[in-house]
Structures are given as C-alpha cells and as structure tokens.
Chains A and B, each alone.
Chain A
C-alpha cells in the first residue's frame, strides 16, 4: 500500500520535531528513515502509524486521507523499539491479542486464531516457545514475537522503530537478513527507523535521510551513497576526511591536486570536499599528480590496513588491502605520495 505525506508537521511545545515533510512510499517498498537522534524520524514513523497526530499537513494511505484516522483503521502493524510485549501474556497470547480485541463481530473461532498464531510463530521460528512469557526470551526472540504480533492482523503497512537497536551485533545481522526475507515473502509495505547508516543501506529499497525534522535526501542506497545531496548526508553516511578545496569547472582543487567530483558539482568557488578512505591511493615515491604525505599511524584490521596520513597538516584516513600492500613499508614516519580518486564537494554556502 502506498503512503503519501504532504507537508507533515509536528511540534512538541515550542520544539518542531517534524517540519513540513513531503514523502511518498510506494506499495511493497522497504523504506528506511535514517537520521541521528533528534532528527524526527521516530516521530514521523509514529505519525504514519497514528500514534501521534500531525499539527499540520496531511497523510494519505492508498490515496485515501488518513491524517486523523485511528491507528487500527489505518491497517498498520507497529513494532516498538523495546518490543512492548505484554509481559503478563504468553508468546501465543501476545500474538493472538490483535485477533481477539476490537469490535470484531462475530468473534473469530478459537481454532482460527490458534491456526493463524501457529502459522505466524512458524514464520518467525518460535513455534516451540509459544507458552513462554516475554521475560523468558532473549532479545532477538522478543523482537520476532513483536513482529509476529504486528503481522497477525494482516497489516497493509508494517512500521518498525529501531528494530535492531537493542540487540547485539551478531543477532542484529541475522535478524536483518531475516527481515529482508520476510519482507520479500509477504510483500507488505515496510518502513523502519534507524540511526545506523550501514543497516539502512544494507536493508532498504530506498532510504530517507532526516536532519532536524526535515528531509535531506531520499533515494536508493546506491544513490544516497554515491551522490549525497548535502554535506550533512555525506558526513552522516561516512564522508571520510573533510578537506578545504576550491571548486573549479568540473573538478576540485584539493591541496594542489585535481580531483574529480563524484556528486553534483556546486558553483565554482571555495568549498568543502569529503574524501572516503577507499578513494585514497598510495603511490610509491613522489609522482607528478600526487601530494606528499607522511604516515602517522598504521593499524591492520582484518583484511584491511588502516592508515592515518598527514597531508600538509590535514589528517586523512586511508584503507588499503593488506594482501596487496602487506609487503610495502608503511611504518609511521614513512613519506608517501597520495592520489585522491574522487571526492564529494559542497559549496561553503550550502
């Protein structure tokens, strides 16, 4: 189901949490709302779910206005950050809750409820734990119960607030893949909130990046990563070293080097360039189009070699492949030549 937000605004007292946001989410899409804490992403998600009501603007689900609709009438399933499982109910009763409550007439037969719940628990691989209570489950299991519970009412839209925020790194990775599979299998329109850029880029079809209640950029993971629309987006997605530069026609001058601009070039003049560690090349000796630098620190991390380079007073970080550079002497103090493959560049005014 598609969701259309037009000029949505939410204020808490004098503080504007969400400021005139326009966003459309397509049917069947997996959309990430990404931003630092305080960017308004959770508030936006809660407004889509009907847990907060907008002070301005409108919200349509499938073209039908739902701005003031109650949550259950919107057909959304909501997975809370801390799961919000009913602590006095078993896993089974938690999942069955949505099938028992409301003005459902006639009531669903117990057999139908049991079948549906067991099917969902099968889906989230928790069938053997149906009679457990939430406090007897691990974090990852609770998360899956919360998801099964949200899916029980067959929502048209699934909303997840920081779905993996409270989990440790390994479980996080497993659940990410698993959520992706479930989304693919069910095709339900899904929106999730995260502050973890890696999570957003890995999981989502499209990413919406928020900052101070406004949208900075919406696009596919590749689009936002390759062509960050603003310095904020670039910085937030791991922009790399931040260097002063001069924007010229078609390229940027960074420390005397001609560097191709990978995003949409700003108007000529002074600017800021972001160079990612992978876009820094080391050259043996000093060549014509390389800048002189000195290694200040070196740290092997798994298959990579992380270097801190002093480039005329600016510290930049480079990442090299250990297999290809393992034999080169890069101990601190070594002088090297540096070439910058590409940079994201923004005018100072922006």
Chain B
C-alpha cells in the first residue's frame, strides 16, 4: 500500500497535532505540523471570535424570547415602514450608481484621454471618507444652516431630515462600487470586440447592448450586489441626515439603533437579523459568482 511505504519517510512528523491532510512526506515547501497547527489556530480562532460569534449573537439575541416575539418585532408598523424606506432608498441609489458606473467604465476603459488617473482617484474618494463625513457634507449644503438652506426653506423643499437626504447620503457612500468592478474588467477585455462590431456596422448602442453588456453582465451583477448590500446597511451617513423621525425617516439600521437605545433588545436584534440575513445572502451570491464566473470578473477583489 502506498501509505505503508511512505510511512518510513514520515517519521519526522510523529505527533499529528492537527492532521488536515492525508499522511505523506513533507515537501520542501510544506510547513512543519506545529507551524500549521499554530497558524490554523490563530486564523480560525481570530475568525471565530470576530466573525462567527457576532453573527451567532445576532440570531441568538433575536430569538431570546421565542419566535413569537421575534415575529411581532418585525411586523410592528414602525419596523415595517423602516423596511419599506430602506428598500425605497436602495431602489433609487443602486440604479443611479449603476448608470454612473457603466458610463464611467465606458469612458475610462474604452477611450484614451488625459487625466484618467485623476478621475479614477476621484471615483475612489468616497471609499476613503468617513461615513459620518459623507452625511455631514450634505447637511452643510442643504441643512437649515447650510449653504443652500435659506433658498430651500424659501421654496419649502426639505432635503435633510427627509428621504432625499437619505438617498443622497446613500448614493455618496455606494458611489464607487459598480464603477470599481467594471473599469478593470472592461480594461482587461480590451476594445477588439467593440471595434469588430463597429466595422460590421453596429451603432454605439447596438455595440454596447449586444457585445459589451453580455461580456460584463456577471461583473455588473457583482458590483450591484455589493452596492446594494452597502446601500441597505449604511448607518453612519444616513444617521447624520435622517433626523430619526420614527416611521418617516428611519431606515432599518437606524431603527435598530432606536430600538437598542430604548433597551428593546429583542426587537433591535430581530430587525438586525434581517440585515444579517441580507449580508449572508450577499456573501453567498458573491461567492457563487466568484466560483462560477471567476474568470469573467475583474481581478481586483477588494472593498
């Protein structure tokens, strides 16, 4: 038996502390078992402590008083209006950034022009700005004491502490997601297919819809997925512009905060569990996309 003959050479690994691979001689690039055990323990322990436990805590706390209490917290009118508002805001912000992302990627990936590097940096900007600042800038523009505050009051337009403010802050926060996914993808694909379509007589729109779009659809979905997760879950930025008016300007994350501050923990965690589910669904979909269409997605995998 192969394992038998090999065992003579595996003497040095006498203590199988954490045997994760079938026994075979240790190659030159393989770590000693104790190193492997240490690294695995550190890595898995760290992930368990910082990711798995918090996730479990959300569901455990939500169900602490049983399914009945959990359900009640979700169908309560304020919670329901928070859910509707969150969906509404995402339904505006995500398509807006989708259109922007596609336009930016078309201009940047398919054309030569000076100032491209600067434009790319500016598109990335919202990623490096604190969420609170993302909300703050709109208060400074549209708030009662903001730059345009007096003008808005005159025409009786409410932006801050109203839905438009929530949408703006969310758009700001999720601004780069789609563009960041598409630009490297479209750059990697080159212009050949588009040029071929054009020499064959296709119009610009035909070229985009029949040639480019089918090639980027998974990358687009990937970007939209991440964009949507952030749009629905954003807290800091919307917290600044919302005004926390129950049933009116409370998104789900803000509703979680209010319930929590009222010591209504079960209800807070119940709403939070919905958001956690959204996160899990997003991660699963994202992983499936990466597994299935990894080659068709852009190589950059961070944010």
Contacts and interface: CB of A to CB of B under 8 A. Distances in A.
A80 B203 CA distance: 19
A87 B206 contact: no
A82 B195 CA distance: 12
A273 interface: no
Given A101-B206, A102-B206, A86 B199 contact: no
B94 to A, nearest CB: 25
B56 to A, nearest CB: 42
Interface string B107-140: 0000000000000000000000000000000000
Q: Chain B's interface: helix, strand, loop or mixed, by majority?
A: helix
Given A101-B206, A101-B210, A102-B206, A153 B200 contact: yes
B203 A102 contact: yes
A84 B206 contact: no
B193 A71 contact: no
Q: Could you say which of A49, A71, A149 has the most chain B C-beta atoms within 10 Å of its C-beta?
A: A71
A98 B192 contact: no
A101 B200 contact: yes
Interface string A73-100: 0001110101011111000000001100
A155 to B, nearest CB: 9
A153 B201 CA distance: 9
Contact of B192 (A70, A76, A84, A88): A84
Given A80-B192, A80-B196, A86 B211 contact: yes
A228 interface: no
Given A82-B192, A84-B193, A102-B206, A49 B215 contact: no
A346 B199 CA distance: 43
Contact of B202 (A51, A84, A97): A97
Given A84-B192, A86-B211, A88-B214, A101 B199 contact: no
A102 B192 contact: no
A104 B206 CA distance: 12
B207 to A, nearest CB: 8
Contacts of B37: none
Given A101-B203, A102-B202, A78 B210 contact: no
A51 B214 contact: no
A239 interface: no
Contacts of A49: 199
B198 interface: yes
Interface string B26-64: 000000000000000000000000000000000000000
B201 A72 contact: yes
Interface in A93-121: 97-98, 101-104
Interface of B: 192-193, 195-203, 206, 210-211, 214-215
A-B interface, 10 closest residue pairs, ranked by CB to CB distance from nearest: A98-B200, A84-B192, A102-B201, A72-B201, A101-B202, A84-B196, A88-B214, A78-B199, A71-B199, A101-B206
Given A86-B196, A101-B206, 9 more contacts: A72-B201, A78-B196, A82-B192, A85-B193, A86-B197, A86-B210, A101-B203, A102-B200, A102-B206
